[in-house]
Amino acid sequence: MAFVNWLKRRFVVIAGLLTLGYLLLPNIVVTVFSFNKPKGRFNYQWQAFSMDAWKDPCGVADMCGSLSLSLQIAVWATVGATALGTMIAFALVRYRFRARGTVSSLIFLPMAMPEVVMAASLLTLFLNMGAQLGFWTILIAHIMFCLSFVVVAVKARVMSMDPRLEQAAQDLYAGPVQTFVRVTLPIAAPGIAAGAMLAFALSFDDFIITNFNAGSTVTFPMFVWGSAQRGTPVQINVIGTAMFVIAVLLVLGSMAIGRRRTRQKA
Amino acid sequence: MAAVTEAPAPPATQQTRPPRRRGRFTPYWLLLPGILWLVVFFALPMIYQASTSVQTGSLEQGYKVTWHFATYWHALSEYWPQFVRSVLYAASATILCLLLGYPLAYLIAFRAGRWRNLIMILVIAPFFTSFLIRTLAWKTILADGGPVVGALNTLHVLDVTNWLGWTAGDRVLATPMAVVCGLTYNFLPFMILPLYTSLERIDPRLHEAAGDLYAKPFTTFRKVTFPLSMPGVVSGTLLTFIPAAGDYVNADLLGSTDTRMVGNVIQTQFLRILDYPTAAALSFILMAAILAMITTYIRKSGTEDLV
């Protein structure tokens, strides 16, 4: 009975931690199996400990090439989507204009559309235009689906900005450009950064839309997909582990910076 | 999603800006490039796809718009099992996400204390790791004769799931259960983050007030916490259901030919069989079905300000 009571009191904590375990289990498996020495092609069963894959992460043909291609696309998609998205967000928050509702729903729709539908329709357009599928079609597609997410992230931040700060700057004879660069942009920066981070993660990890619009170009997710049929090399687990560790460190780092900033302000 | 986890926004300030005379066209210049991009690469493709779905012809001789609506009938009569499956799998995954995600979101919002940031990072970090690699890891976890399947067998869970048709024999991989498990896993963060943002806005003093009025913890949850977290529940279910219904990665990697979803059919028709009209009709039906479901759902739940 005491145990049941204890379980009742701790229900949220136990259930929550179990879910967290469910979320992290694949990451743990990926890490553990990056030290495996598989027999045959398939790395699904534990055989023996080995550091081979870690010593030579690029030892698989074409894998690191696809990785660098994915990074390039993600960087350019982030730049494009962040620039276009930030402009839209400012227009939506700061101005009243006609067609505001239409614009808002045009922003919302890509997020409410299953990826296959967008992927297939974009391919129809490219086929009709006779476009050569590859780097540029992938980049176009990625900017398209990242755009809305950037708008939402930046909008949230700009909405909570005090417009009086900009009025104050103008009262102190700052020109429109000066006001924007010295006042508006720094305050909006966290929202823009969040949008950019999101765009990067979405683009780097996208498989469904890329698969339709890549032609014979192979990004990293497409390499992983292809290798799943032939047998995944251990090196893929090494990359997966490294990505997880880097992501955790980056988020920890940005949090530390954010905390120092707020402390300085206080 | 990272945006959702940003620190709570400071209270919105009253919008007291003077009417601007200068720059009446500024908003349009700001909107132009981005909206043009969305019109050309999002809206226009939809129109192209609509036209493709009523075309007939062949790859060699070219396609012509013949208003051949029979393609829709063909697509529905041929592939209705995959449609039903998509809705069923996506709905089960969404319900599971809600059941699994709620306690974790609640834990982060009210109970985590100084562990809050760490747990939050562990929820977001998988986003930055390739989801394909993580989905492949489920093959190892659910492997035939592996510890998970062994445990389920010993606990006689598999007997029940076999009877329900979720699993087959001594295996979990290549069955509906594996696909739903993968879908749940893949879209769980999309449930947790909106739930967390709406739970975090709740004033914890309301819990104390409910307690002072002699509400038991569960009553407090049922009458205070859960209703106040409804916006999070609505946007969370949408964010998990929509992508799950269109997904084909989980069904392909963890399932078998008996677990194919609409996404798989669209992908095969488009990229392998090259039957563009059927593929276009299928994705149009999927889109229409999902838009219809969203609108009714949002109406029913009464939260219109989701975006």
Which carries the bigger pLDDT value, residue B1 or residue B121?
Answer: B121
- Which of the listed ranges A47-51, A142-146, B200-204, B267-271 does the model predict with the highest average pLDDT? A142-146
pLDDT of residue B6: 43
**Which tokens hold the place of B54?**
């009523």
Of A13, A24, A144, the CB nearest to B41: A144
Three-state secondary structure string covering B176-231: HHHHHHHHHHHHHHHHHHHHHHHHHCCCHHHHHHHHHCCCCHHHHHHHHHHHHCHH
| CA B216 and chain centroid, separation | 33
Which carries the bigger pLDDT value, residue B251 or residue A6?
Answer: B251
CA distance B238 to chain A (A): 8
Question: Is the predicted pLDDT of residue A160 greater than 90, yes or no?
Answer: no
Measured CA distances, B264 to B12, B61, B86, B248, B250 (Å): 45, 27, 10, 5, 10
pLDDT of residue B204: 87
Of B107, B249, B307, the CB nearest to A16: B107
pLDDT of residue B64: 77
Question: Is the predicted pLDDT of residue B15 greater than 90, yes or no?
Answer: no
pLDDT tens track for B23-65: 678 888 999 999 999 999 999 999 999 988 988 877 777 777 7
Q: Which residue from A minimizes the CA distance to B263?
A: A116
Handedness of CA A226, A230, A232, A234 (dihedral sign): negative
Q: Which residue from A minimizes the CA distance to B142?
A: A44
Task: Quickly state the pLDDT bin for A264 (edges 50, 70, 90).
Answer: low
R_g (Cα) of chain A, nearest Å = 23
Lowest pLDDT segment from A167-181, A186-200, A207-221: A167-181
> Cβ atoms within 10 A of the Cβ of A130, count?
6
Which carries the bigger pLDDT value, residue B294 or residue A152?
Answer: A152
Is B68 in a helix, a strand, or coil?
coil
pLDDT of residue B307: 41
Q: Do A140 and B39 touch (CB under 8 A)?
A: no
* Average predicted confidence (pLDDT) for chain B: 87
Question: Is the predicted pLDDT of residue B302 greater than 70, yes or no?
Answer: no
Kindly state the average pLDDT of the residues A86-104: 89
* Cβ atoms of B82 and B289 closer than 8 Å: no
Burial of A256 (0-12, 13-18, 19+ CB in 10 A): exposed
Kindly state the average pLDDT of the residues A252-256: 81
Is B176 in a helix, a strand, or coil?
helix
pLDDT of residue B192: 96
Kindly state the average pLDDT of the residues A74-95: 95
Question: Which residues on adjacent β-strands are paired with residue B64?
Answer: B56
pLDDT of residue B23: 66
Q: Do A19 and B188 touch (CB under 8 A)?
A: yes
Question: Is the predicted pLDDT of residue A79 greater than 90, yes or no?
Answer: yes
Which carries the bigger pLDDT value, residue A265 or residue A67?
Answer: A67
pLDDT of residue B138: 94
Contacts of A208 in chain B (CB under 8 A): 246-249, 263
Measured CA distances, A8 to A5, A118, B168, B182, B297 (Å): 5, 46, 35, 29, 33
The ipTM value here is 0.89
**Which tokens hold the place of A110?**
């890509």
Question: Is the predicted pLDDT of residue B7 greater than 50, yes or no?
Answer: no
The answer to whether A16 faces chain B, any CB pair under 8 Å, is yes
Contacts of A67 in chain B (CB under 8 A): none
What whole-number percentage of chain B has pLDDT above 70? 91
| Residue linked to tokens 């981070």 | A197
How long, in residues, is chain A? 266
Pure H helices in A109-161? 115-129, 135-159
Contacts of A70 in chain B (CB under 8 A): none
What whole-number percentage of chain A has pLDDT above 90? 54
* Average predicted confidence (pLDDT) for chain A: 90
**Which tokens hold the place of B298?**
């949002």
Which of A144-174 are b and which e, b meaning 16 or more Cβ less than 10 Å from the residue's Cβ?
bbbbbbbbbbbbbbbbbbebeebeebeeeeb
pLDDT tens track for B131-189: 999 999 999 999 988 889 999 988 988 988 988 889 888 889 999 999 999 999 999 99
Dihedrals φ, ψ of B122, to 5°? -65, -25
Question: Is the predicted pLDDT of residue A266 greater than 60, yes or no?
Answer: no
Q: Do A194 and B271 touch (CB under 8 A)?
A: no
Instruction: Residue A19: name the closest of B154, B201, B96 by CA.
Output: B96
Task: Quickly state the pLDDT bin for B5 (edges 50, 70, 90).
Answer: very low
Question: Which residues on adjacent β-strands are paired with residue B168?
Answer: B171
Rounded (10°) angle between helices A135-159 and A115-129? 130
pLDDT of residue B8: 47
Q: Which residue from B minimizes the CA distance to A141?
A: B41
Dihedrals φ, ψ of B248, to 5°? -130, -5
Of A45, A84, A198, the CB nearest to B1: A198
Burial of B11 (0-12, 13-18, 19+ CB in 10 A): exposed
**Beta-strand runs (E) in chain A:** none
CA A99/CA A106 separation, integer angstroms: 11
The answer to whether A180 faces chain B, any CB pair under 8 Å, is no
CA A117/CA A136 separation, integer angstroms: 20
Q: Do B130 and A221 touch (CB under 8 A)?
A: yes
Residues 6+ apart with CB under 8 A from B118: none
pLDDT of residue B188: 96
Which carries the bigger pLDDT value, residue B114 or residue B64?
Answer: B114
Give the residue from B30, B201, B271 with the most A CB atoms within 10 Å of its CB, the best one to mutate: B30
Question: Is the predicted pLDDT of residue B10 greater than 60, yes or no?
Answer: no
